[in-house]
Amino acid sequence: MKVGILNITGYGGIELARILNRHPEFKITCVTGRSAAGEHLSTIFPHLSALDLTIKEQLDEEVDIVFSALPHAASAHQLKPYIEKGIKVVDFSADFRLNDQKEYESWYGTNHPLPGHLSKASYGLPELNRDSIKGSSLIANPGCYPTASILALAPAMENSIITEDVIIDAKSGVSGAGRGLSLNTHFSEVNESVKAYSVSGHRHMPEVVQEIGKLNDDVKMKLTFLTHLIPMTRGILVSVYAGIKDSQLEGKSNSINLLRNLYKDYYKQEKFVTVTDQPPTTKQTLGTNQCLIYPTIDIRNNRLIVIACIDNLVKGAAGQAVQNANILFGLPEETGLKDLALYP
């Protein structure tokens, strides 16, 4: 299958190139970049010289699938012709994640470029939406924070064991902020420091509410979602807190085991979600498409705690995109995604 990549020159695009380079069924044949059109890819990224590609203004060849690693708005705009021709599309941006046009426009501060196609898009979190993805050709690849957050909450919410009060405290490495220059990503400012950001509300929050909302009609989640910047390159860890309302778990001596079994059972068929017996570290996911989830209970206060972590550029972006593409073409979901973590 021939692959086109829109904007290979950001971190999402680079990572996609790395993964597809070893994929047995996909071949990158055409790529664009926002700034380096006309240059050979190896001039900008010497470590990608094996791919032997020139960065184009536009995809000028027929391809079987288009991955867009463009920012929001620019992405929908450039994807328009492919969507209209029915070519399979996986979009890394937020443009097709939110079902509600107004919510999109409120959070992203811009008109939606293609509102008429919102209803055709499938939210590309395979563990929850596999069937919908199979039947779609426009996949909204989830945000990095939502991937970890939704997977951490889903078993508890679908099984109705938690209350509506949910707090997610999320920690991300700096690569999540992309390759664009800013004091917020300037080494000497970021290194050896931690801070909260987007304190009045992060754009990834409505995705989490939307997707979790589909799992349980009875609970209208009240989600506080706070993001923090951590001095490391890759990795996201979310710590999820919620009240427990389930009588089966409440106050039982073995409630933590019951909870863990509930989570293990929920994900037992999944190749890319592992429910762990010890709190995980982001390092255990480096370079892999794994989401590690550790559910437990604060026994003193009867609160659920779930810790989940991923590599933000793999399961949080390019790896999940390939997982979605595998589904779109009927390939085994783990094709090209079997790497173990780079450790340490």
Query: Which residues partner with 274 through β-bridges?
Result: 292
Residue with smaller CB distance to its own copies, 68 or 282: 282
Residue with smaller CB distance to its own copies, 132 or 274: 274
Give whole-number Cα distances, 338 to 23, 294, 334, in Å.
Answer: 10, 21, 6
Pick one of 191, 248, 257, 261: the residue that binds its own copies (CB under 8 A).
Answer: 191
Checking DSSP bridges between strand 162-172 and strand 236-244, what pairing results, if any?
A: antiparallel
Report the alpha-carbon distance of residue 217 to residue 199 in Å, rounded.
28
- For residue 247, the tally of other CB atoms under 10 A from its CB is 9
Pick one of 160, 222, 257, 261: the residue that binds its own copies (CB under 8 A).
Answer: 222
User: Between vectors from CA 153 to CA 149 and to CA 154, what angle results, nearest 5°?
Assistant: 115
Residue with smaller CB distance to its own copies, 133 or 242: 242
Asked if residue 148 lies in contact with residue 154, where contact means CB atoms within 8 angstroms, the answer is no
Pick one of 276, 320, 324, 326: the residue that binds its own copies (CB under 8 A).
Answer: 276
Stretch of 33-41, 88-96, 177-185, 315-323 lying at the interface with its own copies (CB under 8 A): 177-185
Give the distance, in angstroms, between the CA of residue 321 and the centroid of all CA atoms in the same chain: 8
Residue with smaller CB distance to its own copies, 285 or 323: 285
Find the binding residues for its own copies in span 77-136 (CB under 8 A).
none
Report the alpha-carbon distance of residue 177 to residue 162 in Å, rounded.
32
Pick one of 21, 29, 99, 101: the residue that binds its own copies (CB under 8 A).
Answer: 21
Measure the N-to-C terminal CA separation of the chain; round to a whole number of Å: 34
Asked if residue 207 lies in contact with residue 146, where contact means CB atoms within 8 angstroms, the answer is yes
Set 30, 144, 291, 309: catalytic member = 144
> Binders of its own copies: how many residues, by CB under 8 A?
87
Report the alpha-carbon distance of residue 333 to residue 272 in Å, rounded.
9
Of 180, 169, 281, nearest to 234 by C-alpha is: 281
Q: How far is the CB of 213 from its own copies (least distance, A)?
A: 14
Query: Which residues partner with 229 through β-bridges?
Result: 172, 195
Pick one of 5, 8, 9, 11: the residue that binds its own copies (CB under 8 A).
Answer: 11
Question: Is 144 among the residues known to form the active site?
Answer: yes
Find the binding residues for its own copies in span 280-319 (CB under 8 A).
280-288, 292, 294, 296, 298-301, 303, 305, 307, 309
Q: How far is the CB of 169 from its own copies (least distance, A)?
A: 4
Pick one of 88, 97, 117, 171: the residue that binds its own copies (CB under 8 A).
Answer: 171
User: Is residue 257 close enough to count as binding its own copies by CB under 8 A?
Assistant: no
User: Is residue 237 close enough to count as binding its own copies by CB under 8 A?
Assistant: yes
Stretch of 79-87, 112-120, 179-187, 260-268 lying at the interface with its own copies (CB under 8 A): 179-187
User: Is residue 341 close enough to count as binding its own copies by CB under 8 A?
Assistant: yes
Report the alpha-carbon distance of residue 224 to residue 218 in Å, rounded.
19
User: Which sequence positions are flagged as catalytic?
Assistant: 144
